[in-house]
Chains A and B, each alone.
Chain A
């Protein structure tokens, strides 16, 4: 579904900066069909750059990125992908229904199919009553759920979710966790980027840890936890294993 082979990306030097910023170095990972992959890292680790390359918003300087076997810069690839950005970014003077109609039209759906899918998703995400309100009046959590509806309206094969729990209250978060589980059980491939490692542990099979633009770890969640298990103790949770991994990388393994 997603292949990332030795990808590097450097941002050009900006006014006031001494050097260009290298955001990704020789990064490689694969998301197989039906798989769920968590992309984690600190701020500035290269997660957003990875997602922007996968969405075709920018091209790698070196290496190759493939989504559904094709160049992600092709708009046709994005037809089969559902993307949830970290912040809801639709024009704010549209109503939720107008926004979904726009998405449906762009995805080649007819009016009846758009209406059916919009009703189903808006009811599922508890936004049906607010469908004719302008997005600028939505709370952060409502905007996030509206963006979810937009990402799912066309029944995509692959979902790329950037911080899907961002701005959600505990109930909303639990609802989205159960929705992602349903999607995973339905056979969707999911790339999931989050700071909330509890959610990553609950929702993903495998994990890619990015640190300062390099991949520190790519493998199963349990594999990472067992790597940092002390003798005679239970494996640490994913958050402790992640912190240990990043500290090891920063100190070169010295205590």
Chain B
């Protein structure tokens, strides 16, 4: 555990001092702050529009962090032989996978925590500065829940990234795999709906439906962890079609399984 935490700490420190991460933070912060100007554009449902904006920026920042920083961070270690120094001191490969994933997640959490606090401030300020008719409901607890859902989606993505990094060599193949993983995960619900409609019209395809259903386990839909609709709604969560406990538990289980597979792959591979 000491080695995992020590590695996570240097991954966090190293990332925190990178200009790319600061650039992403400043860019996302500027976009989030631009939410203040929403008051001039949206007459109705301002709360929903502003909340969607804040969470979309946080999701975009997490996505950019994963696809353009985290993907490179892992491949960099192998290409520049940083992994040699780490394993020599003497971190096991399993500890490397866990330490790296934890460090990257901590870095993403730092970024998201800052953006989350600013986003919360933006929404709170808006609510107090306009007529309550335009922004009737806002729940800080639900904001925290939506933020937690985003972090669970990020943890799942980073675990998948570690798995692909164990399977493939180099940043570009891992980036392509991550994009395919994300697109497949987001596309499966659409295919499921289409098959459901076909079945309702009397053309059931049970085998295909079964395959698509189980594919959803390998390619999860991050949209299931999107609870932002609840932030500005007074309706109970089940009425909004949200089941946070189950979705968060499945996301954590997915991350744990993906990391276990990544460790098994790393243990077996030669480091050239």
Contact = CB atoms under 8 A, between A and B. Distances in A.
Interface string B87-109: 11111100100000000000000
Contact of A108 (B2, B84, B270): B2
A147 B85 contact: yes
Interface string A62-100: 000000000000011111010101011111111000110
Interface stretch (B13-21, B184-192, B248-256): B13-21
B17 A57 contact: no
B89 A85 contact: no
Contacts of A58: 270-272
A141 B236 CA distance: 64
Contacts of A90: 82, 85
A31 B270 CA distance: 24
Contacts of A88: 85
Contacts of A52: 271-272
B191 to A, nearest CB: 33
B271 to A, nearest CB: 4
B224 interface: no
A78 B90 contact: yes
Contacts of B95: 75
Contacts of B2: 105-106, 108
B7 interface: yes
B264 to A, nearest CB: 14
Interface residues of B, number: 28
A131 to B, nearest CB: 15
Given A55-B84, A108-B2, A79 B90 contact: yes
B9 interface: yes
A78 B89 contact: yes
B84 A85 contact: yes
Contacts of A77: 90
Contacts of A91: 10-11, 13-14, 82
Nearest to B82: A89
Contact of B270 (A59, A94, A99, A107): A59
A10 B95 CA distance: 27
B6 interface: yes
A150 B3 contact: no
Interface string B230-272: 0000000000000000000000000000000000000000111
A4 B270 CA distance: 18
A120 B82 CA distance: 25
Contacts of B13: 91, 93-94, 98
Interface of A: 11, 52, 55-59, 75-79, 81, 83, 85, 87-94, 98-99, 102-103, 105-108, 134, 147, 150-151
Given A78-B90, A89-B82, 16 more contacts: A52-B271, A55-B84, A56-B87, A57-B271, A75-B91, A75-B92, A81-B88, A85-B85, A85-B88, A89-B80, A89-B84, A90-B85, A93-B15, A93-B17, A99-B10, A106-B2
